[in-house]
Amino acid sequence: MKEKLIVVGNGMSGLRVIEDLLEINKDKYDITIFGEEPYVNYNRIMLSYILSQEKTFEDTIINHESWYTQNNITLHKGDKVISIDKLNKTVTSQNGKVENYDKLLIATGSKPFIPQTVGSNLNNVIAFRNKADVDTIIKTIDKSKTAVVVGGGLLGLEAAYGIAMHGVKTILVHRSGSILSQQLDSTGGKLLQENLEKYGIEFKLNTTIKQINGISDVEEVEFSDGSSVESNIVVFATGIIPNKDLAIEAKLDTKKGIIVDDFMATSDKSIFAVGECVEHKGNTYGLVAPLYEQGKVLAKKLADVEVDGYSGSTLSTRLKISGVDLFSAGDYLGDETTEELILLDEKVGIYKKLVIYDNKIIGIVLYGDTADASWYLKLLKEHTDISDLRTKILFGKSALSGDSGHGGDDVNSMSDDEEVCGCNGVCKGDVVNAIKDKDLKSLSDVKSCTKAGASCGSCLGLVEQILVNTLGDEYNAVEEGICDCCDVGHKEIKECINENEFSDVYEVFEKLNWKTNDGCIKCRPAINYYLLVKYNDDKYKNDKRSALVNDRNYANIQKDGTYSVVPRIWGGLTSPQELKDIADIAVKYDVPTVKFTGGQRLDMLGVKKEQLAPMWKDLNDCGFVSGQAYAKGLRTVKTCVGSQWCRFGTQDSMAMGVKLEKLTWGSWTPHKYKIAVSGCPRNCAEATIKDFGVVAVDSGWEIHIAGNGGIKVRVTDLLCKVETDEELIEYTKAFMQFYREDAYYLERTAHWLERVGLEYVKKIMLDTQKREYYVLRFEESQKSAQVDPWAKAIEDGFTKEFSPIVIKPEESVSFEAKEIN
């Protein structure tokens, strides 16, 4: 007879206990879970990504309905437990359900703390705690020009960033003089603030909210510094309080939270508690890693497996804002008895501080470069004496081994007990053992089995490296499906397309047993791309219905559904007449915004879809072709003025830039592709963060590859040096074609290179025969590629669809239909 286990709370910590328990003994309990929210178990940590629209709610679901079913777990969604009868061992829910238990687990998490302020009861004064909050924020800021976020802690910053990503002016109010004051010292806080200001967040420090004004909804916010702002929303991220209401009602021992022992038992030995709702040895925790550490202990306890008790956690944290690398742990402030080792480069935005006591690390602050976070944390946790490492320790682990590296962690040198995933407390050894013991073959298998990388996702690259190293040659044997429509990955799809003859995407679907008839937004554009690359435009007609919207409409869609139009400006060179023509056209179509792009071109923003075709026609008439600013293809070739004008220029970068752009425009690539040519090593065209960067030197040209100036800046790798223009052109052709054919769809050169390795690319590119092979294939493909898509779309009549059909009310007719479609 199974025992009955009831879990109160369907959140991350409670469910982690159940997952761990099922791993150890899946037959011990009949499990019933009550959840207050009307959803399955989702990852609350990732709410900030939903708000910033970098992920969907679906991406945050940890366990789908099928998981509950497969494990015979009864889930009561949207039903809160309101009382516990300890004597009869029953719980009662809000919907009137009464259930017996043998063991009860309380995992009710925490409640947001909203300070009592005048007006804090108005509509749209909310917390940032659950999915409903995020939905409300998104809905409200649509109608608001300004949003106010209160609290400069982790949650507040993530909320402010997410809101600012919607283009809404965001004011963050924080009572102390430095943001993230619980995790960072003032130097780190200042660097972080400067970075976040770039996203449009305005900070009011040493300030609080005086009162919130409005009749029913928020209308205005007054601050303690005497200023005020019109706003429709106030988001409070001012801390959390352990949710101990149910425990109090049941007369369990509580203080700040529900009191538990080292085995997470409450004052009633049939009732356990875990997560943010508990207090252990006077501490409460609001980060996920400690909660999972508690969960591991409790799962073993519930399974009657011997386990050492929980002894508390060392807190470390990372900020989940794209492009902001921040890590802190331990006693990051120190005191008069401690020393500090500091590396600060404000210009580059790197700050590292180690707080040392008795030659041991007791606190860590890393900003801008967190690659060594897990290594420093290990030294901290193990109380390692760092006397011998002291002079080099701030330069990271690679500096000690003499390997300067090129970013990324060296997983080979990591010890098994070194932490990989801070969110879930998973060490390298856990991942390696799971891969070996459970025969895991894919990243998703590792994620779901070990939970490494399953929360904020910032360690996924590292997890994948461990997978690759552990599996060796086997790694490529199994690939994940590219979307839910199929079980096959890019590699297998490409092989299939290369080995067979297909005339459209549907034939590929049929051959590879697609689960859907038409594919989806992820797979159809990918298949269309692979077919285009194989056959070139002359043998396979680009299927516009399978292309992403920008590639289909030859313009960049903007947040309001209008488009941006960019004519090609070869090598960044233009003329007064061209500028005048563009200006005339911008005036003619009443273009609201004209902007110079980072790639030295003019962008006309706010163009209505029905204006696109006539505008293209006018631009064509003036000699312009599409700049493909929207395309998965060559965008731009940026140049400096080079030897033509610059006192320091050693080569004619402008002429070379124009030549390379005329060579490479028009063809499709897996992702956008940018080239730059600098006329001397001063590198004014910033060639070393481009997909293909050319830097002139006295003896010829340096060729750099796989740079990226995006969210995560990646500096290029040097491919080689060449002496002549002809050699440079040869490499330009060969590299572009190699990337076109070898990378996966939507894989930037930077990610492709990191996946396949620089040595692999060098091996092909520096081999004369192989290089010639790709040159020839490039030249062949370009024959049919260099057609202006604007002119072609007009010629094909595709743009008819761009014009709406306008029906006047007087054209309404009474109609009795005979045929129903």
Partner 1 sequence: MQNWIKITELENIPLMGARVIKYEDLEIAIFKTKDGSIYAINNICPHRQGKLSDGLVHEKVVTCPLHNTDVDMISGESIGEEYECTKTYELKIENSLVYLNLK
| Minimum distance of partner 1 from residue 610's CB (angstroms) | 9
CA 124 from chain centre, in angstroms, equals 28
Applying CB under 8 A, does 481 fall inside the site for partner 1?
no
Q: Which of 513, 575, 769, 814 contacts partner 1 by CB under 8 A? A: 814
For residue 455 the two structure tokens come to 């929360």
Applying CB under 8 A, does 575 fall inside the site for partner 1?
no
For residue 232 the two structure tokens come to 């429709």
| Minimum distance of partner 1 from residue 289's CB (angstroms) | 29
195 to each of 65, 126, 203, 347, 712, how far by Cα in Å?
40, 26, 12, 11, 14
Q: From the CB of residue 500, how many other CB atoms can be counted at a distance below 10 Å?
A: 11
| Minimum distance of partner 1 from residue 143's CB (angstroms) | 11
Site for partner 1 in 598-637 (CB under 8 A): 609
Applying CB under 8 A, does 515 fall inside the site for partner 1?
no
Site for partner 1 in 132-191 (CB under 8 A): 135, 138, 142
| Minimum distance of partner 1 from residue 545's CB (angstroms) | 4
- How many of the chain's residues bind partner 1 (CB under 8 A)? 43
For residue 739 the two structure tokens come to 């990337």
Applying CB under 8 A, does 820 fall inside the site for partner 1?
yes
Applying CB under 8 A, does 510 fall inside the site for partner 1?
no
Inter-residue contact 174 to 196 (CB < 8 Å): no
Q: Which is nearer to partner 1, 589 or 630 (CB)?
A: 630
Q: From the CB of residue 186, how many other CB atoms can be counted at a distance below 10 Å?
A: 13
Exposed / middle / buried, residue 545 (Cβ in 10 Å: 0-12, 13-18, 19+): exposed
Applying CB under 8 A, does 546 fall inside the site for partner 1?
yes
Q: Which is nearer to partner 1, 768 or 821 (CB)?
A: 821
| Minimum distance of partner 1 from residue 630's CB (angstroms) | 12
Q: Which of 66, 116, 517, 575 contacts partner 1 by CB under 8 A? A: 517
Q: Which is nearer to partner 1, 525 or 789 (CB)?
A: 525
CA-to-CA distance for 44 and 197, rounded, in angstroms? 26
Stretch of residues binding partner 1 (CB under 8 A), selected from 240-248, 717-725, 728-736, 808-816? 808-816
Q: Which of 58, 385, 538, 796 contacts partner 1 by CB under 8 A? A: 58
Q: Which is nearer to partner 1, 87 or 820 (CB)?
A: 820
Site for partner 1 in 220-239 (CB under 8 A): none
For residue 274 the two structure tokens come to 């875990």
Inter-residue contact 15 to 62 (CB < 8 Å): yes
CA 499 from chain centre, in angstroms, equals 35
User: Tokens 């273009």, residue?
Assistant: 591
| Minimum distance of partner 1 from residue 510's CB (angstroms) | 13
Applying CB under 8 A, does 729 fall inside the site for partner 1?
no
CA-to-CA distance for 685 and 636, rounded, in angstroms? 12
Burial 470-485 (b: 16+ CB within 10 A, else e): bbeeebeeebebbbeb
Q: Which is nearer to partner 1, 96 or 804 (CB)?
A: 804
Q: Which is nearer to partner 1, 306 or 811 (CB)?
A: 811
Please, which residues bridge with residue 280 across strands? 260, 283
| Minimum distance of partner 1 from residue 285's CB (angstroms) | 31
Applying CB under 8 A, does 342 fall inside the site for partner 1?
no
User: Tokens 């591991």, residue?
Assistant: 296
| Minimum distance of partner 1 from residue 614's CB (angstroms) | 17
CA-to-CA distance for 425 and 427, rounded, in angstroms? 7
User: Tokens 């040869």, residue?
Assistant: 730
Q: How big is the chain, counted in residues?
A: 821
Q: Which is nearer to partner 1, 726 or 819 (CB)?
A: 819
Q: Which is nearer to partner 1, 40 or 736 (CB)?
A: 40
- For 92, residues 6+ apart whose C-beta sits below 8 A from its C-beta are 81, 82, 83, 84, 85, 98
| Minimum distance of partner 1 from residue 812's CB (angstroms) | 5
Inter-residue contact 352 to 187 (CB < 8 Å): no
Q: Which is nearer to partner 1, 130 or 176 (CB)?
A: 130
Applying CB under 8 A, does 475 fall inside the site for partner 1?
no
Q: Which of 521, 579, 587, 776 contacts partner 1 by CB under 8 A? A: 521
Encoded one letter per residue, x for contact with partner 1 by CB under 8 A and - for no contact, window 549-568 reads: x--xx---x-xxx-------
CA-to-CA distance for 194 and 201, rounded, in angstroms? 10
Applying CB under 8 A, does 789 fall inside the site for partner 1?
no
Determine the residue type at 68: Y
Applying CB under 8 A, does 513 fall inside the site for partner 1?
no
User: Tokens 């209308």, residue?
Assistant: 219
Stretch of residues binding partner 1 (CB under 8 A), selected from 104-112, 270-278, 352-360, 513-521? 513-521
Applying CB under 8 A, does 66 fall inside the site for partner 1?
no
Collapsing DSSP to helix, strand or coil, 486 comes out as: coil
Interior CA angle at 273 toward 269 and 278, to 5°? Answer: 120
255 to each of 261, 263, 267, how far by Cα in Å?
13, 18, 12
207 to each of 179, 225, 578, how far by Cα in Å?
12, 6, 51
Encoded one letter per residue, x for contact with partner 1 by CB under 8 A and - for no contact, window 524-543 reads: xx------------------
Collapsing DSSP to helix, strand or coil, 6 comes out as: strand
Q: Which of 518, 538, 621, 767 contacts partner 1 by CB under 8 A? A: 518
| Minimum distance of partner 1 from residue 37's CB (angstroms) | 12
CA-to-CA distance for 815 and 365, rounded, in angstroms? 72
Applying CB under 8 A, does 305 fall inside the site for partner 1?
no
Q: Which is nearer to partner 1, 547 or 719 (CB)?
A: 547
- For 815, residues 6+ apart whose C-beta sits below 8 A from its C-beta are none
Helix axes of 768-785 and 758-765: crossing angle, nearest 10 degrees: 90
Stretch of residues binding partner 1 (CB under 8 A), selected from 118-126, 226-234, 457-465, 796-804? 796-804
Applying CB under 8 A, does 404 fall inside the site for partner 1?
no
Q: Which is nearer to partner 1, 353 or 524 (CB)?
A: 524
Stretch of residues binding partner 1 (CB under 8 A), selected from 55-63, 209-217, 297-305, 381-389? 55-63
| 220-223 sheet: strands from edge to edge | 209-213, 220-223, 228-230
| Minimum distance of partner 1 from residue 522's CB (angstroms) | 9
Inter-residue contact 641 to 653 (CB < 8 Å): yes
Please report, as ranges, the residues that interact with partner 1 according to CB under 8 A.
53, 56-58, 135, 138, 142, 516-521, 524-525, 545-546, 548-549, 552-553, 557, 559-561, 609, 800-801, 804-807, 809, 811-815, 817-821
